[in-house]
Amino acid sequence: MVGLGTPNKQLSLEFDTGSFLTWTRCQPCVSPCCYPQNDPIFDPAASTSYAKISCNSAECAQLRRSQCSSAANTCVYEVIYGDESHTNGVFSKDKLTLTPADVFDGFLFGCGQDNEGFHDGSAGLLASSTGYLSFGSPTGASNAAIKYTRLTTLSSGSTYYGLNLVGINVNGQKLSIPASVFSSPGTIIDSGTVISRLPPTAFSALRDAFQAAMTSYPSVPGDGFLDTCYDLNCNPTVTYPKIEFVFGDGVTLTLDATGIVYLLDGTMKQVCLAFVGNDDADELTIFGNTQQKNMEVLYDVAGERVGFAPGGC
């Protein structure tokens, strides 16, 4: 939770490791792009410290994608993420309150009025509300429990945290997926993408293996882009297949249930496989937010590696 505005309004924002811009949904929200969120929508008119960024300002010029609303001399931003979700609205500044001692005047952020593709109830992107993320030295898990894999640089953009993903195992068996499927155009880790994205070949192989292991549970129609779903109302205990991500330096990362299925109704009664296939083989593989929950994720930028340990929350 962070506070935005004067008086500050508490907002649940996700920490996004794959983006350069903080944003939150703002009034007025453009219908039909008003997805449900847990917190009240931020109203800039109710904040005495809020201000819009002008078109000809240095702040507007630093945006990677912007345009000018000439009638109001207002800088308009747009961000499109790797999973095709997007946000656009008014580039703005206001007071940001992290703790009573950590207050930042004139904090730059996007006041989002058209936001699509976000489904987890958060108010926008900044800091994690579910899950545990740490930069630098480990704070929770013992050093022995942390599995480190090296960070890589992608040709498509040096701002991303790249991973050398080479394969996926299901119940101890390596799926028949060539490593080149993941290396071109590459794999990134991104806490701002809710559902992980896989190349079409890799997703088909994972979905087939998952379905083969779940034949004792009744399937149900998919929900939006999630197409492998089950009704578990009559199953007091459920056994999911073991899914592991394999990296090029020999590190194998085992997902727990929260990283394997996505809960449609907030309970374990309606679930879907928590992966989506990309439309095109040339799109990035994304290791997303759902797979990072219940993990301690450590970014050792100086050491050019990222570490994973169980029990983050």
- Better pLDDT: 140 or 111: 111
pLDDT of res. 33: 55
pLDDT of res. 294: 82
Catalogue the E-assigned strands of 41-176: 51-52, 66-69, 74-80, 86-99, 102-116, 124-126, 132-135, 147-154, 157-163, 165-170, 173-174
Out of 105, 190, 227, 256, pick the active-site residue.
190
Residues 260, 274 contacting (CB under 8 angstroms): yes
The model's confidence at residue 1, banded by pLDDT at 50, 70 and 90, is: confident
> What does DSSP say about strands 23-25 and 102-116: parallel, antiparallel, or unpaired?
parallel
CATH number for the segment(s) 2-126:
2.40.70.10
Backbone angles phi, psi at 283, to 5 degrees: -85, 150
Distances from the Cα of 6 to the Cα of 68, 91, 175, 185, angstroms: 26, 18, 53, 44
pLDDT tens by residue, 236-293: 789 999 999 999 999 999 999 989 998 876 666 789 999 999 999 999 999 998 898 8
Buried b (16+ CB within 10 A) or exposed e, 115-154: bebbebebbbbbbbbbbbbbeeeeeebeeeebbbbbbbeb
- Better pLDDT: 66 or 135: 66
Residues 286, 193 contacting (CB under 8 angstroms): yes
pLDDT of res. 135: 53
- 300 noted as active-site residue: no
Out of 16, 39, 83, 94, pick the active-site residue.
16
Report the range of poorest mean pLDDT among 138-147, 193-202, 205-214, 269-278: 138-147
- pTM higher than 0.75, yes or no? no
Considering the domain delimited by 132-310, tell me its CATH architecture. Answer: Beta Barrel (2.40)
pLDDT of res. 129: 35
Cα separation, 147 vs 118, in Å, equals 30
Question: Region 8-20: what's the mean pLDDT?
Answer: 80
How many Å separate Cα 299 from the centre of its chain? Answer: 16
Cα separation, 118 vs 300, in Å, equals 28
Task: Count Cα atoms within 13 angstroms, Cβ side, for 148.
Answer: 17
Cα separation, 227 vs 241, in Å, equals 17
pLDDT of res. 39: 85
Question: Region 140-145: what's the mean pLDDT?
Answer: 65
pLDDT tens by residue, 26-65: 988 765 556 667 888 899 999 999 999 999 898 998 887 7
> Would you call 212 exposed, middle or buried from its count of C-beta atoms within 10 A (0-12, 13-18, 19+)?
exposed
Cα separation, 230 vs 252, in Å, equals 27
Cα separation, 302 vs 206, in Å, equals 34
Residues 49, 60 contacting (CB under 8 angstroms): no
Q: Which two tokens stand for residue 278?
A: 């990309």
pLDDT tens by residue, 151-192: 998 876 666 889 999 999 999 999 999 999 998 889 999 887
Cα separation, 115 vs 169, in Å, equals 35
Cα separation, 124 vs 37, in Å, equals 9
- 105 noted as active-site residue: no
Cα separation, 204 vs 68, in Å, equals 43
Mean pLDDT over each residue of the chain, to the nearest integer: 85
pLDDT of res. 182: 95
The model's confidence at residue 128, banded by pLDDT at 50, 70 and 90, is: very low
Query: What residue spans in the chain does CATH classification 2.40.70.10 cover?
Result: 2-126, 132-310
